[in-house]
A and B are shown apart, each in its own frame.
Chain A
Amino acid sequence: MTDLIALEGLNKYYGDYHALRDIDLTIPQGQFFSLLGPSGCGKTTLLRTIAGFEAPSSGVLRIDGRDMKGVAANHRPTNMVFQSYAIFPHLSVAENVAFGLRKDPRSKEEKGRAVGEALEMVGLGGYGNRRAHALSGGQRQRVALARALILQPKVLLLDEPLSALDKKMREQMQVELIRLQRQVGITFILVTHDQEEALVMSDRIAVMFEGEIGQMDDPETLYRRPKSRRVAAFIGLMNFLDARVGGEVSERKTAAPERPTDDPMLTRFRRQIGLLPKAPKALPEYVSGIEVEVAGLGRAVLPKERVPEALRHTGCTVGIRPETLAVLFEGEQTTSRTVDGVVDEVVYYGDMTYYDVRIEGVEKPLTISMKNLIGRPVLEVGAKTRVAWDERSLVPLGH
């Protein structure tokens, strides 16, 4: 895969306001890429810069290897789906879709066929003669998609395309957009403030804060291994615990229980006569890693690569996702480590229950999500419980 879009040291100022700060970014051909961030983080400015509606103050933008400096929006191989869809209300659906073909040398019949195909592709076959203002929100969006895709751009830019739709429609359109993107193979760049939308749809996500890219990764890495506290807080729910990071340790793993054997004399005899292979010399198992003392949970040893160099021998924050914790119901056994806690708040969602559990040594209660499996009770506020946790789900973060 070649890089279709390359941004190098891109900056944008509005007067004194620094809207984009040193953006370096490459997007390969065919990727579904998302710009995610809170409002005012510069994601829309970045998208509009790629589209050609804003000129960068400094830096280079290349699309398909070509420097876009001085190239106006109407000469770029990009097309955009606007947040408001910007469907031309004085034209019919077909005229809207055909708008970009005005300078196309093809015959009227050929264009008409292309329009029909584009409408078919977005599921609006037979809607060509409708007036644009008689369409629902979802239909308008489909028209906007057809209108952009009919020009076969190298990049399709989507500016919060789903924010105007209701929840059901939004979820449906998410799936349709993914399907469409796979079908046409065009690079999509999506701007959204909805982290769930970004996680569901993207191959890769850039999380932006205050004009900078905070982290750029695939959805799973972004969710499971956020690199900073603000990324962790922005994406999904995360509990934050104070922690102290120590140095490197190497220690013997808790000894596994001896395998029960039958008569040891008999075993030795069998080995001697060659019925059993020689016993391998048992090497002691060591875990080596970085020692972390987590408030409320206790001591943990994390693999070296999971603890950034900068955090060693300092105070830091450890993140832990609600679904990687578990409340233990009465009589339930576990092999995980546990701490005692008291249920502070219960929020019932139907398929899930969210508990806030207060544990000793931590000011803010831990949020824990539990699937409501068959036969599993819902605890009440004030109930005493134990919280099971796992070293593997701890994410060390800078302050």
Chain B
Amino acid sequence: MSLRIYAIAYLIFLYAPIALLPIFAFNDGTIIAFPLQGFTTEWFAALATTPALHEAVQNSLIIAVTSAVLATCLGMCAARAGTMEDFPGKRGVLGFIMLPLVLPEIIVAVSLLVVVVRVFGLTLGNWTIILAHTLICAPFCIAVLNGAFQNLDRSMEEAAMDLGQSRWGAFRLVTLPLVAPGIISSLLISFTISLDEFIIAFFLSGNSPTMPVYIWGLLRFPERLPVVMALGTILVALSIVLLTVAELMRRRGLARAGLKDTGGFL
């Protein structure tokens, strides 16, 4: 009984703030407080008519997609090397590339700012954020893809080569389809990380902010707060859809490979 109460309390702690988002997004009043005023879709309409927001979302999407693809490519190489090849200093190298996972983002942000602006004298832009996001997403991709590659029988690629395929052919025809669910998971995770990353984007964005930076800017205007709530509601709905798709893909991948489901991230 006490366990059940604890579980319920825990869930409320986790999700109550998120549940507030849609409530106030549809609330007809600029002050975020109870009692509720009435129902409105005004704030959603306001989203549609804010060009600055559209630009920020567009920036964020470009950055998130690009860095997700880059980080996943890097992660795939690293995970394949880490699980299927042996080379001197392997443990050290693998440990080193996982380091950004525990590196404070503010350090990455500041040092990249120094390198880009002071050392190379380049101007900031989306590409600087893409580079930084690739850096912080790569360890997550490696972690996700490691699992996919570890499930893979090492002799699969050898069998493909034995049957006449080149190294690349073996990778394309056998390894790639078998780790595809892992690749999709990796893409989705790094996409999500990049999309809501604030610190690095704040430091490295030039004159075109990303969505989190734009939202932060909105906070200075209390009357715009419900718009942020509406934006948040859309993002939450989008996340749920994305995660569901990721989980379905993962289950389908497992079923196709005939592996036992050991429980994913959902």
Contacts and interface: CB of A to CB of B under 8 A. Distances in A.
Interface residues of B, number: 19
A35 B132 CA distance: 54
B256 interface: yes
A74 B256 contact: no
A178 interface: no
Contacts, number: 61
Given A83-B155, A88-B174, A90-B177, A73 B257 contact: no
A73 B156 contact: no
A90 B155 contact: no
B178 A82 contact: no
Contacts of A79: 162-163
Contacts of B192: none
A131 interface: yes
A94 interface: no
Interface stretch (A99-107, A211-219, A274-282, A387-395): A99-107
B161, B162, B165, B257 — most chain A CB neighbours (10 Å): B162
Contact of A132 (B155, B164, B166, B258): B258
A82 B155 contact: yes
Contacts of A151: 163-164
Contacts of A51: 162
B160 A89 contact: no
B164 A103 contact: yes
A90 B162 contact: no
B175 to A, nearest CB: 10
Given A74-B166, A90-B177, A80 B159 contact: yes
Interface in A77-96: 78-80, 82-84, 86, 88-90
A179 interface: no
A339 interface: no
B153 interface: yes
B196 interface: no
Contacts of B162: 51, 73-74, 78-80, 148
B42 interface: no
Contacts of A83: 155
A80 B156 CA distance: 12
B28 interface: no
B163 A147 contact: yes
Q: Which of A83, A88, A132 has the most CB of B within 10 A?
A: A88
A100 B257 contact: no
A186 B145 CA distance: 41
14 contacts: A53-B158, A73-B158, A73-B161, A74-B161, A74-B165, A80-B159, A80-B162, A82-B159, A83-B155, A84-B153, A88-B159, A132-B258, A147-B163, A151-B163
Interface of B: 153, 155-156, 158-166, 173-174, 177-178, 256-258
For the complex of A and B, 10 pairs with smallest distance between CB atoms: A133-B258, A100-B163, A86-B159, A86-B155, A82-B155, A89-B257, A90-B177, A73-B161, A80-B162, A74-B161
